[in-house]
Amino acid sequence: MYANCDILNKTSIGVKMNLDNINPFIRYAKLHTHYDEQKKNRICYDCRLFFITSGEGSLLANGQNYKISNNTAIFLPPKSQYSFSFKDNDSVKIFVLNFDLTDKFSEHKHSIGTATESDFNIAKFLDYSLPQEFQTIIVKNNTLSFLEDIESCVNLFLQKPMLYRSLSSGFLKVALIKLLQEINSESNEDKLVQNIQDYIRRHYDSAELSNLTIAKRFNYHPYHLSRLMKAHTKKTLHNYLIDYRIHMAKNFLTTTTLNVTTIAEKTGFPSYTYFIKTFREKTGVSPLQYRKSHTNIGF
C-alpha cells in the first residue's frame, strides 16, 4: 500500500494514552464548500476528522470502501491512505480538521499537510501512541449529535479569540468522545437485536412468547425493543415473531405429515383459528393449499 511499509508500520513509542488524557492540538480547521478531486491517494501525517454536511459519494481508506452521504463523520488516524469520490464536487460541504490527540508537538503549529505514496516523508510524522479507540478508521453515517461542537471548534479556530486553541481543543475533544459513544451504542444495539432474534428462534414454539415476555427477558420496555427491531430488521418485534412462526409453519407443512392443528401448536399460535387467519394474511393461501403447492420432492 505504501512506498515503505516497514517504516510506516513501525510501533509508536512513548507512554500509552487513554481517553481521559487526550488533549487535541489542532493545526487546521475549515469548512470546505467545494471538493477539488485528487488523482492520487493521500496519506495523512496527523489525525483527520471530516464531517460531511452535504455531498454523496465514497471514501477509499486503507483499501476499504465506505459509502458517505450527508451527516457522515470520518476519523482517520495518522498514516491512513485515503481518497474521496463525490457525485457532484460543487455540492460538497465538509468540515476538515487536522490535529494530534496530544499537545506534545505543539511547537508544530501549522498544517503538516498530506502526501502521496511517492513523496511521503517519514521525518514529518509525529510519532506517539494513540488511544486504542482511535487507532483505526471510524466512519459513522447519519449523525448530527456533535455537529454543533464541530462548528464551534472550527469557528473559534478561524476567528482566533483569546484562548482559542484551548477552547477549540475542548470542543473537538467533546466531538470525538460523542463519536465513540455513538459507535459503541450502535454496536451494543446490534448485539441486543441478535440476542433477541436468537431467543425467538429458540422459543418461538411457546404460546407464552410475546412482546411483553421478550421485553421482560431482556429488561427493556416493549416499545423500545419494537423500535429497535424496526430500525435493524425493518419489522416490528411483533411482526418479526409472527413472520418467524409462519416461516417455521411452512417448514413443517412441506417437510412433515403433521396435521394443521399440531403445526399451529408447534409454532406457538394460541389457537387453530388464529393460525389459519394469520397464515392466510401472510401468504395469501390456507396452510393446506400451501402444502399442496409446495410439496417437498427431495433431491
For the stretch 39-98, pLDDT in tens is 789 999 999 999 999 999 999 999 999 999 999 999 999 999 999 999 999 999 999 999
pLDDT recorded at residue 7: 30
Residue entry with cell 410439496 = 295
Q: Do domains 5-185 and 211-293 have the same CATH topology?
A: no
pLDDT recorded at residue 88: 93
> pLDDT tens for residues 194-238?
999 999 999 999 999 999 999 999 999 999 999 999 988 999 999
49: left (phi over 0), alpha (psi -120 to 50) or beta: beta
> pLDDT tens for residues 151-179?
999 999 999 999 999 999 999 999 999 99
Distance CA 46, CA 125 (A): 7
Q: Which residues pair with 48 in a beta bridge?
A: 76, 98
Q: Which residues pair with 157 in a beta bridge?
A: none
- Amino acid 92 reads V
Q: Is the dihedral of CA 182, 188, 192, 198 positive or negative?
A: positive
C-alpha cell at 297: 420432492
Query: Cα-flanking dihedrals φ and ψ of residue 290, to 5°?
Result: -65, -45
Strands (DSSP E) found in the chain: 25-32, 42-44, 47-54, 57-61, 64-68, 72-76, 81-86, 93-100, 114-115, 138-140
pLDDT recorded at residue 295: 66
Cα dist from 25 to 94, 138, 215, whole Å = 20, 19, 45
Q: Name, in order, each residue with C-beta under 8 angstroms of 161's C-beta and a sequence gap of 6 or more.
A: 167
Cα dist from 78 to 7, 40, 82, 83, 127, whole Å = 13, 18, 11, 14, 9
Output the CATH code of domain 211-293.
1.10.10.60
pLDDT recorded at residue 11: 33
Domain borders along the chain are: 5-185, 211-293
Which of 204, 292, 199 has the alpha carbon at shortest distance from 249?
A: 204
The class that CATH gives domain 5-185 is mainly beta
Query: Cα-flanking dihedrals φ and ψ of residue 9, to 5°?
Result: -100, 15
C-alpha cell at 48: 483527520
Percentage of residues in the chain having pLDDT higher than 90: 78
